[in-house]
C-alpha cells in the first residue's frame, strides 16, 4: 500500500473516532444544563446558545493561528494538539458542578481543539494532487460517520448511565485517536525558510497573501453564512424533540437517533456527491445541495411528531452532506501554494464564527418567536446563500 494511502486511512479512522467522541455529548447538553440547576426553559435555551457560542468564538479566534503554525511546524503536530486538548477539556466536563464551570471548559475546548480543520489540512498536504477530491471526500465521510453514531451513543449512555459518563467516554475516544496519529502517521514535513521577523509577522504575512484572493474570501463568507444557518437549531433541537415526545420521555436518545440518521445519510452522500461534482462542476453541485437543504428545512416547522421530523432530517442529510466536500474542493483549488494550513485555518475560523452566531441566533429566535420559527429562519438563510453563491462565486474548475 502506498504511504499516502496508509496515512489517509489512519487519519480517517482517527478522525472517525474523534468525531464519534465529540458527538456523544451533543444530544443532551441542554438537558445537562437542567441537571446543573438551570430549570427555567428560557434560561436553558439561552445557556445552550452561550455554551455553543463560547466554544465557537474561541475556535474562531485561534484557528488562523493554529493554521499558520501548521504551515511552519507541521500539520501532524496540530492534529495531535487538537485531539489531546479535546481529551483533557471534555473529560473534565464530567466533573463540573455548575453551568459557569461548564462554560469555562467549553471556551478552553474551543481554543485547543479543531480536529476537522487540522485533519483536513494534513490530508491535503500529503496526498497526490490528482487524489485530492477522493481523499477529502473520504475524510468527510469519516467525519459524518462519527457524527452519525456519536449522538446515538451519547443519548444511550446519558439515558442509561447519566450525563457525566458520556463526557468521560469522549475523553477516552479522543485520547485513543490522538495516540493513533502520534504512533502511526508519518509526515515528511520540511519547515519553510524562517526568514526575518517574528512569529506574529509570519502569521500576518500568511493572512495577507490569502486576503488578496477575492475568490477565497467569497467562499469563506459563503461558508460562514451557511454555518450560521445550519447551527441555529443546535440548542433547541433536543427541546423540540422533548415537546414532540409523549410525556417528554427519552428526549436524549430520540434526539440522538435523529441526528445519527441525518449524519449517517450525509456520510454516504458525501463521497457520492463529491464524485458527481467532478463531472458536473463543484459550484453547481454546491448550489443544488444548499437550495435542496433549504427546501427541506422549512417543513420541519410544521411537524407534529418525531417520525415526521426524522424523515425530513434524513432527506436533508442526503443533500447537506455534499456541502463540505464540494466547498473544500473549491478551497483546495484556490488556496495559495504551500499555505494549506493558513487557508484551512481561515476557513475553520469562519466556520467556527458561524458555529458561534448560529446557536445564539437560534436560541434568541426560539425565546422570542418560538422554537418552530427557528426552522423557517434557517430555510431562509440557506436559500439566500444558495442564490448568492449562484450569482457571485466564480471558480475555474
**Residue range 114-167, pLDDT digits in tens:** 999 999 889 888 888 777 777 888 898 898 888 778 877 888 888 888 889 889
C-alpha atoms less than 13 angstroms from C-alpha of 121 in its C-beta half-sphere: 36
Contact status, residue 353 vs residue 225, Cβ threshold 8 Å: no
Average pLDDT for 345-370? 86
Give the pLDDT band (50/70/90) at residue 206. low
pLDDT reading at 195 higher than 60: no
Q: Nearest 5 degrees, angle CA 33-CA 39-CA 42?
A: 90
Q: What is the pLDDT of residue 247?
A: 62
Domains in the chain: boundaries:
3-184+211-392
State the residue for C-alpha cell 526575518: 196
pLDDT reading at 10 higher than 90: yes
Q: Which DSSP letter does residue 336 get?
A: P
The CATH architecture to which 3-184+211-392 belongs is Up-down Bundle (1.20)
pLDDT reading at 329 higher than 70: yes
Cβ-Cβ contacts under 8 Å for 197 (sequence gap 6 or more):
205
Contact status, residue 24 vs residue 154, Cβ threshold 8 Å: yes
Percent of the chain beyond pLDDT 90? 33
Percent of the chain beyond pLDDT 70? 93
Compute the distance between CA of residue 388 and CA of residue 222 in angstroms, rounded to an integer: 8
Cβ-Cβ contacts under 8 Å for 117 (sequence gap 6 or more):
63, 66, 67, 344, 345, 347, 348, 351
Contact status, residue 149 vs residue 17, Cβ threshold 8 Å: no
Q: What is the pLDDT of residue 259?
A: 81
Q: Does 2 or 55 have the greater pLDDT score? A: 55
**Residue range 71-126, pLDDT digits in tens:** 888 899 999 999 999 999 999 999 999 999 999 999 999 999 999 999 988 988 88
Contact status, residue 385 vs residue 226, Cβ threshold 8 Å: yes
Q: What is the pLDDT of residue 12?
A: 95
Amino acid at each position: 500500500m502506498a504511504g499516502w494511502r496508509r496515512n489517509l486511512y489512519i487519519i480517517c479512522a482517527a478522525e472517525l473516532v474523534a468525531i464519534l467522541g465529540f458527538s456523544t455529548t451533543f444530544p443532551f447538553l441542554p438537558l445537562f444544563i437542567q441537571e446543573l440547576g438551570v430549570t427555567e426553559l428560557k434560561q436553558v435555551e439561552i445557556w445552550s446558545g452561550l455554551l455553543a457560542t463560547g466554544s465557537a468564538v474561541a475556535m474562531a479566534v485561534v484557528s488562523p493561528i493554529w493554521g499558520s503554525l501548521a504551515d511552519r511546524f507541521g500539520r501532524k503536530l496540530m492534529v495531535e494538539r487538537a485531539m489531546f486538548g479535546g481529551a483533557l477539556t471534555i473529560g473534565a466536563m464530567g466533573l463540573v458542578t455548575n453551568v459557569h464551570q461548564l462554560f469555562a471548559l467549553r471556551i478552553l475546548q474551543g481554543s485547543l481543539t479543531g480536529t476537522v480543520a487540522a485533519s483536513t489540512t494534513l490530508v491535503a498536504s500529503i496526498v497526490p494532487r490528482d487524489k485530492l477530491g477522493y481523499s477529502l471526500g473520504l475524510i468527510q465521510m469519516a467525519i459524518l460517520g462519527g457524527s452519525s453514531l456519536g449522538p446515538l451513543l451519547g443519548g444511550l449512555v446519558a439515558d442509561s448511565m447519566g450525563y457525566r459518563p458520556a463526557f468521560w467516554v469522549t475523553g477516552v475516544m479522543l485520547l485513543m485517536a490522538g495516540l493513533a496519529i502520534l504512533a502511526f502517521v508519518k509526515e515528511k514535513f520540511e519547515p519553510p525558510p524562517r526568514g526575518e521577523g517574528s512569529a506574529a509577522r509570519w502569521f500576518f504575512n500568511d493572512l495577507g497573501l490569502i486576503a488578496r484572493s477575492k475568490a477565497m474570501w467569497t467562499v469563506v463568507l459563503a461558508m460562514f453564512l451557511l454555518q450560521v444557518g445550519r447551527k441555529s437549531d443546535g440548542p433547541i433541537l433536543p427541546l423540540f424533540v422533548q415537546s414532540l415526545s409523549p410525556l417528554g420521555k427519552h428526549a436524549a436518545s430520540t434526539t440522538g437517533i435523529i441526528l445519527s440518521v441525518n449524519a449517517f445519510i450525509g456520510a454516504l452522500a458525501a463521497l457520492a456527491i463529491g464524485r458527481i461534482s467532478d463531472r458536473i462542476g463543484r459550484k453547481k453541485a454546491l448550489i443544488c445541495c444548499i437550495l435542496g437543504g433549504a427546501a427541506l428545512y422549512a417543513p420541519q416547522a410544521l411537524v407534529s411528531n418525531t417520525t415526521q421530523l426524522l424523515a425530513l432530517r434524513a432527506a436533508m442529510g442526503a443533500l447537506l452532506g455534499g456541502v463540505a466536500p464540494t466547498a473544500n474542493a473549491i478551497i483546495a483549488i484556490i488556496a495559495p501554494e504551500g499555505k494549506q494550513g493558513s487557508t484551512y485555518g481561515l476557513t475553520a475560523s469562519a466556520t467556527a464564527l458561524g458555529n458561534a452566531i448560529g446557536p445564539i441566533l437560534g436560541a434568541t429566535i426560539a425565546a422570542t418567536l418560538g422554537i418552530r420559527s427557528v426552522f423557517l429562519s434557517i430555510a431562509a438563510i440557506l436559500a439566500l446563500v444558495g442564490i448568492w453563491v449562484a450569482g457571485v462565486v466564480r471558480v475555474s474548475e
